Amino acid sequence: MKNIVVVGGGTMGNGIAHTAAASGFDVTLVEVGQDLLDRAMTTISANLQRGVDKGKMSADEKQGVLKRIRPTTDVQSIKDADIVIEAIVENLGVKIQLFKQLDEITAPKTILASNTSSISITKMAAATKRPDKVIGMHFMNPVPVMALVEVIRALQTSDAAFETTMELARKLGKTPVAVNDAPGFVSNRVLMPLINEAAYAVMEGVATPEAVDTVMKLGMNHPMGPLELADFIGLDVCVDIMAVLVDGLGDPKYRACPLLKKYVSAGWLGRKNGRGFYRYGEGK
């Protein structure tokens, strides 16, 4: 496992590329446009600079990490990848379209992994001619900092692909946890109902967002309150994940709180655009 390809240069994709390059791997980072690639590389450089400023790496080491990342808009150039990690929009149809394309481009030996936080790996695997080599690698945000990777086996995933992916996660400095394919896996199946109930507590006037988060931080020793975390994840992403849970499990307890849906309708998505349960930036 030498050549890692990351498709998607957003928050998760650039974090995965950063982490892999910092672990000594050659990384190809693929995006659909040069402006998106430039933005991703700028973010990686800025995040690495924080390590330099804190004395965790030298300026030369930072440059070494950046040189191991090859940014490109040419998806056809990735045919020699050992593994492709997809980190694009959380939409099954779009992911399946990409996996079909990757299946045609890459060598038969290449493992195709998805960083999806909730969507069925089994469905993605079924769309390819190599279902035994399709797997989930659900990294946590921010990727360079968080230790966990959920490694999700599709129904079709071979033992060899699973073991290779587990070992890769370890080489990336992460702790892999094996999870079978089910809606939301473990992380979001447990987390999203917590966020949802916190939103209901606010909607019903039980407490303010600040109070709800303080209770969970001081009373339950959570490092971040559930509503702070929802803002960090993106309220639109939370609503989308809960829709996957409802659809996949058929249990109405996973339906998104009306207040969450209202905030998304208003364009209040959290940190990424300045307002969610809290205000960020100049509008704070």
Active site residue 138: yes
Mean pLDDT of 226-236: 97
Question: Of the listed 120, 138, 196, 228, which one is catalytic?
Answer: 138
Question: pLDDT of 140-172, one tens digit each?
Answer: 999 999 999 999 999 999 999 999 999 999 999
Active site residue 222: no
Residue 1 reports pLDDT greater than 90: no
Mean pLDDT of 235-256: 95
Question: Of the listed 47, 114, 115, 188, which one is catalytic?
Answer: 188
Q: Which residues fall within 8 angstroms of residue 108, CB to CB, at 6 or more apart?
A: 130
Question: Of the listed 117, 118, 120, 196, which one is catalytic?
Answer: 117
Please report the pLDDT score of residue 283 as a whole number: 56
Mean pLDDT of 204-222: 98
Please report the pLDDT score of residue 18 as a whole number: 98
Please report the pLDDT score of residue 284 as a whole number: 65
CA 101 to chain centre: 21
pTM for the model: 0.92
H or E element: which one contains 209? Answer: helix 209-214
Question: Of the listed 86, 90, 150, 228, which one is catalytic?
Answer: 150
Of 115, 275, 267, 145, whose CA–CA distance to 209 is shortest?
275
Strands ordered across the beta sheet of 134-139: 69-72, 26-30, 3-7, 83-86, 111-114, 134-139, 148-153, 175-180
Please report the pLDDT score of residue 189 as a whole number: 96
Average pLDDT, the chain: 96
